[in-house]
Structures are given as structure tokens and as C-alpha cells.
Structure 1
Amino acid sequence: MKQTDAKPTRTAAADSAGPAQPSAARAAGMPPAARGSGAVDGLDDQAALSPGQVAGHIYAFLYNKSVGLVLILLAGLLGLMGAIFPQMPASTRADAQAAEQWLEQVRPVFGGWTGVLRGLGVFNMFTSVPFLVVMGLLAASILACTAHRLPVIWRASRHPRTRVTARFFGRARLRSHFTAPVSAEDAFEAVCADARRHRLRVIVDERGPGRNAYLDRNHWAPFGTVFAHLAFVVVMAGFVASSLTGFRDQQFTLTVGYPKDVGHGTALSVQANSFQDTYYEDGSPKDYVADLTLLDDGEQVASQEVRVNTPLSYHGVMFHQSYFGVAAVMRVADASRAELLHDGVALEWSTSDKIFNYGHTTLPDGTVLYVVEAASGQVGTGIEPGQVRVELYEGEATTPSAEAVLDQGTPSAVGDYTLTFEREQQFTGMIVRRDPGAPIVWVGFGLLAIGVCMTMFFPHRRIWVRVTDTDDGALVQLASPDRRDFGFSAFFTDMAVRLSGRMTQHAERTDADA
């Protein structure tokens, strides 16, 4: 439907009535300010809702159970998408060119949807705006539900309901009654004394009928749900902190003897001084260890032998030993003979047919250098022992702009560069990560453990007692609405049997003394 112009228009009737309006306004006694305002759309009126009312509506929306359930389902769906779809490494996201190369690798799988999925944040789900918004709303919902429930739990714990109807003692899940040949006062005192001996809290209700008491144990246990809810919020905050301010590089390669910058906004650089790998007699790896030296802004700050389960840690940055292999040490100079690269290129990849091993690195001007060698035992590949093939790629090109086979130690002109394959050298592959949210997550797990233990191992148990006079003595009634389980059912039954037996024995001793 075509949209019409919302601007008011004058009608013939309005024009005819125009001259009479001022006098009509004066006749109606309207104040001058009202006469001249002409506010007919309500935009100049006072707001109908105060900020407090708006906050109240938001609060009521967040603690609504249906809203919480929807947010949980959305968070689960987004998390599932993050697990199903490949996630772009953090180090790749920081480099626009590397990100485009990564997208080209997944484009054959997703085709024309690749750009759409990237725009929606599917390839970096756990740092995407939809995920963070949903997790933020879920955290707010949990906090609102907790804040809404906390006063109820507090009142139930500190000021429980002590008075129940007579019908309750006949319909409760657990119930028992017996008549004792003692007075109601003596029976009631015996019940209270027995409860205190068994570490039950006793609250006496004087309102009647009869003598009434409320008994419970672990009255603080319901607060376990508060700890559990807070735990989820704390854990989510930890994950978000790690996602936004941390990093994880799972393919950080160090050629032995060649320092490398860590990057990711740090001033750290690290060098592998040596690498040693040992094996069992059957050929399986026994141990591999890298001797690392860490520098911060050029100053040595740490030196350590790093093993798989013995990482190097410095100011929250962790270096974990992960894998190792062979690198080709390359020297690259531009047309002016300025050195662009003198480092090892880790040959950490293999072609699908396992004939070649290769690796790549990006030169300062954005050109991508691929280094290829024949895999161990492969012959007739065109690459002899002591040789490597190099390929240069410009931008997003899929075909090399220049390529050549290099002999070890011989500089060769390849395109606009001079490349030298110096030698092979071992490299060690590290996992480098900074996880600032880890301590927060551990605090959350601690709160969760406390909450679960309070709820599961120290459940809140309640018993209502009523003692009334009868012709045969005192009628003692016990009842509890709590869930049946073996431990509490046995305790409840034992309590009734124990009280009945003690009161009967007390009456018999009294009669014998008389």
C-alpha cells in the first residue's frame, strides 16, 4: 500500500470555523498557554511512564520464566552453531588478508553463503554480536530471577510458616500420629527436646489449636540455588572476558634459533634455543621438549624447558608444547637488497596425496611465500634432496606470480625478490594463549560446586508438630510435605517410633514410682 502524507490538512469546515475559534477558546476559559499550544498529538504531554516504571517493566520481563527459557534455547542454538561451523582462529581474524585466505578455504563447502555466514558472525560465533547479546540478556535474566527469588528464600528461611491446618496432618506426604499416656505439655516438651538433640531447629507457635512447633534442618540449603544461578553468570562472564580480551594461537611455530614476535598486542618475542624428541623402543614418542627464552620489549623475562604438560607462563600468556617438524630456513630480499625475511618456514602441511610437505608465510608487503619439498621417501617429484620449490602469490590470486626450484645455499632471483634456501632446521609448534577469564571461570565452578552440594547433600527438611489433649493422654501428630527419599523417610519414621517409645516408658516409670 502506498504510504500517505501524515501532514495535517485544512478542510473546508475548518476554514469556515476558523474565525470563531479564538472567541470559543476564551469562552471556555482556557488559559493563554493552552490556547496557543495546539498540542493535539500528545507529544508535548508529560510522559505516561516514569523511569522507575520503565525499569520495573524491564525487570518483570527479565525474570519471566518463559523469557528465560527462550534465552536458554537461543544460547544453546548459537553454541551448537559455533560447534558445527568451523571457527576462524583469533590470529586469523586480526589479519584481513589471512582472514580472506581462510574464507577461501571454506568457500568450496559453503559456496555463495560464505559471505552471508561471515556477516552473521557464524565463523566467529563466540565473539559475534548475536551471541554476546543473547548471553548478556541470559545473564541479566538469571540475575533478575535470582533477585526476585532471593527475598522469598530469605523469608522462608528466617520466618517460615509455622502454622498449618488440621487437614495438613492427614494429607502430607510423610505423616504419623500416636497417642501417648502423658500430658500434652510433657509430650510437647519431649518432642522439642528430641528435635534439638538431633540438630533440628525448633520454632514454637503459640497460636493453637493445641501446642504447635515447626522443626527443620539445613534451613540455609535453598540458598544453594542462588549460588548455582550466580555461578552460571560468573562462568559466562569469564568466557566473554576470554573471548574479547584473550587470544589462542594453536599454530605458533618456532624454528630453532630464530626469534619470533608473539603479536596479539603484546611486546613479547620468543626463541627456541633447542629442541629434543625421544622415543620408546616401539617408535612411539616418549618426550619432546623445547628450551624457550622469552623477551618482553627486548628484555629477557623468562627461560624454561617446555613440555606438553609443563607450559611456560608469563603475565597470563601461556606457551604449550604441541607438535614439531622440519622447517626450511629462508632468506628473502627485495629488489633493493633489503632483507624482508630471515626465518624458518615450517613445513607443517602435507598434500592430500602425501607426496609433498609445504608451509607458507606472508612477507611484509603482503606477498605470500609457499615453500614445498618432497616428502620423505618420495622420488621423481621434480624436487631433489637439498632442494625446495618456492611459489609467490600476490593478493588473492590462486596461481603463482613466480615460482622456482632452489638449491640449498644458492641465491636465486624469483620475481622481484632474491630467495635463498639456507638449510633445514627443526621447528616446534606451540599453542600460545592468554585466557584472562580462566580465574573467573574457576570462581564460577566453585560457586556451582557450593550450590550443588548445598542442594543435593544438605537438603532442607521440615516437620510440623501438633500435640493436643485427648481422653487417653496426648495426641502427637507429625507431618512433612517434603519429597520422599530413603534417608528422610527413615529419619521421620524413627523419630515417631522413638518419641512414642520414650513417652510410653516415661509414663510407665511414673506409674511405678507412684
Structure 2
Amino acid sequence: MAQLSARPRVAQRSPLEIGVDRVWRFFCSVRAAVYEIVLLALLVLIGTLGNSSVPDGIADVLPFTAPLVREWYAWDVFHSLPFAAILTLLAVAITVCTINRAPAIWRAIANPTVPTSHGFLRGADPSARMVSTATPAAFGDDLIGVLKARRYRVLTERRGDEIHVYADKNRYAKLGTFPFHLALILILVGGIVGARFGFREQEVIVPEGSTRAIGNGTGLSIHVERFRDTYAESGVAQEYSSDIVLYNEDGEEVRRGTTTVNHPLTHDGVVIYQASFNQAVVLQITDAAGRVLFDEGLDLGIYQSKTNPDAPAGRLDLPMAGLQLNVIAPDNNRVNAPELDDLQLRPGEMYVKAIPTDPTKAVTAGIVRQGEAVDLGGLSVRFVRETQFSLLQVARNPGIPIFLLAAVLLVGGLAVTFYFPHRRVRGIVSPAPSGAVAALAPLAKRDWSGQRDFHRLLEEVANRLGIQPEVHASDESGFDRDGARPDGDQPMQPGRIRPAATASRARTR
């Protein structure tokens, strides 16, 4: 007759539990973390090279990539959704991994395993053996007293006639991993916040005496009251700065100060950096009815004219008049390619070309001297004076406070971990014919400072108990991975205690 075997019924998990478990395993996966980091590094590389001439070089070698290169230059990687998404994914992965490790770390702190084995104590490097005429209980109490005097927490457990000892100090330093990992999460969160809600304008050009709006939802405008520069005898600019006034959207002054290289001006999270400067011209433009269409500085040097590519030039759009004005200044370096200087402008002159937006109308041009005006396309263009413009960079990163908090947590977590290392010592006190014998070993196989601390502990034992410990160094190749010697439970060979400052790896012969 066939016999039926009863099998325990396995509880069926719901699809939700299975899904949560798979998602949890994904975020705990080291392989997934490697892929995420590689993808993040690739995005950072693309974003960094997007501000260089590398894409142009690729397009020169491979002309068919020109459309892709244009898209590359236009793509702001660090403010894009893919960049924010990968940062979010990494932040979630670090959070899940930290939560996953927390119970085991806390168990190791609060409820460590006390019992050990003679095989581990023999295989430990270093280890010590001490013999006493006292009973095992009395000798164990003496050792516990020495350990507590060295600020160790001591836990004991009796196994038969033996007393197993576990001692540690700085156990809460293991919690330093949590502020460290929290700092990593905050760095990623700060990157996400900065990418989505911050901005950085690389070129904000403001001629001296002019005002430009910052935009980007700030409601602020920059007015450059004065630009100052000093030069060396060689003609190289030594220092340059801008006196700036910030106005809010109601035209009220909210901040006044000076910005120079490496010393930005800050207001309400908006940072203004002095980047560069160049030539500008102040023009006054009126229409036939006498209305002023433009009366401020126009930057020169950013725009390049086909008429004279080496000369500083600027462009001004006047949609209310249906015109575009091209302004060209005298060539600053006539020696370089003089054949390109077709205009032959002299100092104090400007070439102005009026190009109608209506292609049926004629283009007019003329040369105007400083302090004079010229009529072009129904407009009066007066050359008031030459000046300079200030090239500024304006940025706002709301993630900066998050980065500062992350820096404090990062340094604090590392400081706790490295300056307060978790020291652990295991031992067994066993009965012996003459009284008791104790074997001690630190969990510091490659921790030289931990081994020095163990030697100081042995010196304390020698001083307080009058017992000379026998210190042993192991042959790493003579023990298996569990710390047990292949030839069984053989007694340790005696050696001698060494000073705390000496290395503990010398082999006893």
C-alpha cells in the first residue's frame, strides 16, 4: 500500500508581497548600483564635454554627426529629467541599502555573540595566554576588572566549566555609517534640487551705466554703476571689478556692492560672479517723431560682422522701428590680417548699418563720430561715448544648504568611524591543574592600531594582576577560514609579551 507523506504547507505570498520583495532586492543589488553609477558618470561626462569644443571636433571629423552635435550643445544635461531621475534612483538605493543593514548593525551593537572557540583564539593574530593560580571565576572577575578599567563593555557567558568573555568599546561608533550614508543621500537630493530649481547664466552682459534683467523667476535686475580695471605694464589686465546695484521687480534697490573675480555678490540665494569684460558703446537712438528708442550701452566684441571679422561689433534689434542695427568699432589690432579691415575706421568712429526687417526696403549705412549723429532708415543714431561692458555669471542653487548639511554629516560620520574605532576582544577562561588559564584575542587581524591597543591591555593585565601574558603570532597559512587549525585542538606554544610600539606579527619559534 502506498504511503502518503505529509508535507508542510508553504504559505502563498500575494503578488503585492512578491512585487515589493523584487523592488527591494533591486535597490539592494550591487550590480544595479554599478549600472546606476556608470550611467551617472556617462551623463556627467556628456554634460561636461557639452561646454567644450569636443563636440565640434567630432562634427569636423564625422560631418554626419553635425545635427547630433547641435542637439548636444543645446541639451542642458545637469538640469534635465534623466539626470534628476538617476540621482533619485541612487538616493533611493542608498536609503534602501542603509535600512536593510540597520537591524544587523544594531544587533551587533546591542546583542553581540559572546561564545567563541579555541580554534579562533589560536588562529587570531595576535593572541595571548595567561595562567593564574586563582579559580576560573576569580580569575575571570580580575580580567573583567582590567577590561572595564580600559573602558570596555564586558559580556560573559558560562559554557560548562569555561567562561566565555566578549569585551568591546566605542561600539556606538558603528552608527557613524548612518550619518555618512545620510550625507550621500543629501548630496544626491541637493543635486536634484539644484538641477530642477536652480539656474546658472554663463553670460550676462551689462554695459556700464545699463540695466539688465536676470530673469529665471528672480524678479531682479542688475545695474552696473561703474566698471573699473587696472593693467600691468605688459598690457595684461591685473584686476577688474563692477559696482553693482540690484533692483527688484518694483524698481526698488535691494542690494548694492562690488563684485570682482573670485569675490561674488550674493543676494537672497542669487550669486553674481565677475567673469570678464570688453568694449561697449553708448548710443542714443530716436525716431522721426523724437521718441527715444534706445539710450544706453551696447556691448561690442560678442558679435562678429562679415564686413570686418577682426573688429569689435555689436547688434541691436529695434522691432518697434522694424530695423536691426549692426555697429562696428575700429580694429584694435590692425597688424593682424590688415587685409580684412575694409572699413579703415579711425579712433572715435563707429560704423552703423541699418537692416530693415522688411526685405523690400533698402539697407543704409554710415560712419558716425563721437558726439555726432547720423540718419539711417528714418532713425537718428547718436554716438555718445565709448565705455565697457561687464560680463557676469549669475547663478542660484537652492541645494547649497543641503550640501552644507551633507558636508557636516559626512565629515562627522567619518570622524566618528576613524577616531573612535570599534575595539573588540574575545576570550575563554578555562580551569587548569594549577588554577585557571585564559586565552584572549582581539578582532584586529589587519588593524595595527587595534593590535597596539591589545598590547596595552596586556601590559595593564601584567601590571595589575602580576601575570606575564604569553603573546603569540599566527602563521596565516596554518589556519582555515573559520580560524581552526587543521591538525585539531593543539595547545598554544608559549612566547613572550612585546612592547606596545612593536609590531605583533613576529613569528614565535
TM category (shorter chain) comes to 0.7 to 0.9
Quote how far apart the aligned CAs of 1:145 are: 0.6
1:314 alignment counterpart? 267
**Alignment-derived partner of residue 231 in structure 1:** 183
Q: CA deviation at 1:493?
A: 2.3
Matching residue of 1:165: 117
Work out whether residues 50 and 73 of structure 2, in 8 Å CA contact, stay in contact via their aligned partners in 1. no
Q: Which residue of 2 aligns with 1:6?
A: none
1:422 maps to 2:384? yes
The reply to whether residue 493 of structure 1 matches residue 493 of structure 2 is no
Query: After superposition, where does 1:238-387 map in structure 2 within 5 Å?
Result: 238-279=190-231, 285-297=237-249, 298-332=251-285, 339-349=292-302, 355-360=310-315, 370-378=326-334, 381=341, 382=343, 383-387=345-349
Q: Give the letter for the 1:269 counterpart.
A: S
Give the CA deviation at 1:458.
2.3
Work out whether 1:188 is the aligned partner of 2:140.
yes
Taking structure 1 as reference, are residues 416 and 436 closer, same or farther at Cα in structure 2, changes over 3 Å only?
A: farther
* Alpha-carbon separation, structure 1, partners of 2:93 and 2:378: 60
Which shifted more, 266-275 or 336-345?
Answer: 336-345
Distance 2:88 2:372 in 1: 59
Does the 8 Å contact 2:90/2:188 carry over to 1? no
Instruction: Provide structure 2 residue ranges, at least 5 long, that are not aligned to the other structure.
Output: 1-11, 469-509
1:496 CA displacement: 2.5
The 3 A distance-change label for structure 1 pair 305 and 110 is farther
Asked whether the 8 Å contact 1:334–1:416 carries over to 2, the reply is yes
1:56-96 Cα shifts (integer Å, max 9, x gaps)? 321221111211121112111221222223379xxxxxxxx
- What is the match of residue 173 of structure 2? 221
Q: Give the deviation of 1:50 after TM superposition.
A: 4.3
From 340, 343, 368, the equivalent of 1:407 is 368
Taking structure 1 as reference, are residues 460 and 360 closer, same or farther at Cα in structure 2, changes over 3 Å only? Answer: farther
Tell me by how many angstroms 1:387 deviates: 2.5
The verdict on how the C-alpha distance between 1:478 and 1:65 changes in structure 2, with shifts beyond 3 A counting, is same
Q: CA deviation at 1:142?
A: 1.0
Judging changes above 3 Å, is the alpha-carbon distance between structure 1 residues 218 and 236 closer, same or farther for their aligned structure 2 residues?
same
Structure 1 residues 122 and 237: alpha-carbon distance in aligned structure 2, compared to 1, 3 A threshold: farther
Aligned-residue offset at 1:424: 1.0
Task: Tell me the distance in 2 between the aligned counterparts of 1:321 and 1:277.
Answer: 12
> In structure 2, which of residues 11, 24, 31 is the aligned counterpart of residue 59 of structure 1?
24
Match 2:393 to one of 431, 438, 445 = 431
1:105 CA drift (Å)? 12
Give the AA of the match of 1:64: S
Which stretch of the first structure deviates more once superposed, 257-266 or 147-156?
Answer: 257-266
Task: Give distance in 2, aligned partners of 1:495 and 1:421.
Answer: 87
Give the Å deviation of 1:502.
Answer: 3.5
- Three-state SS of the structure 1 residue aligned to 2:75 is helix
Distance in 1, matches of 2:13 and 2:69, equals 42
> What is the total number of aligned residue pairs between the two structures?
442
Distance 1:417 1:110 in 2: 47
Q: Which is further off, 138-147 or 444-453?
A: 444-453
Aligned with residue 51 of structure 2, among 74, 80, 86: 86
Between the aligned partners of 1:323 and 1:485, the Cα distance in structure 2 is: 53
**2:34 alignment counterpart:** 69
The offset of 1:303, in angstroms, is 1.6
Contact 1:217 1:460 in 2 (8 A): yes
Relative to structure 1, the CA distance from residue 358 to residue 186 in structure 2 (aligned partners, 3 Å threshold; closer, same or farther) is farther
Residue by residue over 1:439-467, the C-alpha shift from the partner in whole angstroms, topping out at 9 and shown as x without a partner, is 11111122211222222332222111211
Distance 1:116 1:73, change over 3 A: same
- CA-to-partner distance for each residue in 1:310-358, whole Å, 9 max, x for gaps? 4322111112222223212234567887655433222244979993223
1:12 alignment counterpart? none
C-alpha displacement at 1:212, in angstroms? 2.0
Partners of 2:74 and 2:17 lie apart in 1 by 38
- SS state at 2:194 partner: helix
Whether 2:412 is the aligned partner of 1:459: answer no
- Name the CA distance, whole Å, in 2 between partners of 1:338 and 1:87: 44
Q: Separation in 2 of the partners of 1:461 and 1:118?
A: 58
Q: Is the 8 A contact 1:206 1:212 kept in 2?
A: yes
Aligned to 2:152: 200
Worse overlay, 138-147 or 327-336: 327-336
Q: What SS does structure 2 have at the residue aligned with 1:167?
A: helix
Give the 3 Å change call, closer, same or farther, for CA 361–202 of structure 1 in structure 2. farther
Higher helix share: 1
Question: Displacement of 1:149 after TM fit?
Answer: 0.8
Structure 1 residues 126 and 111, CA, compared in 2 at 3 Å: closer, same or farther? farther
Note the alpha carbon deviations across 1:270-299, whole angstroms, 9 max, x for none: 211122223466766554332221111211
State the shift of 1:423 in Å: 2.1
Partner SS, residue 77 of structure 1: helix
| CA distance in 2 between partners of 1:244 and 1:360 (Å) | 33
From the superposition, tell whether residues 198 and 405 of structure 1 become closer, same or farther in structure 2 (CA, over 3 Å).
Answer: farther
What is the TM-score of this pair, normalised by structure 2?
Answer: 0.76
Distance 2:58 2:209 in 1: 34
Distance in 2 of aligned mates of 1:155 and 1:394: 80
Letter in 2 for 1:60: R
Q: What value does the CA root-mean-square deviation take over the aligned residues? A: 3.6
Structure-2 separation of matches of 1:465 and 1:392: 94
Q: Residue by residue, what CA displacement relative to the aligned partner does 1:71-129 show, whole Å, maximum 9, x if unpaired?
A: 112111221222223379xxxxxxxxxxxxxx999976874435446668983221223
Matched, 1:149 2:101: yes
Tell me: CA distance 1:491–1:406, structure 2 relative to 1, closer, same or farther (3 Å): same
Identity of aligned residues (%): 28
Q: Is the 8 A contact 2:56 2:69 kept in 1?
A: no
Q: 1:176 to 1:250 in 2, by over 3 A?
A: same
- Alignment check: 8 A CA contact 1:272 1:290 kept: yes
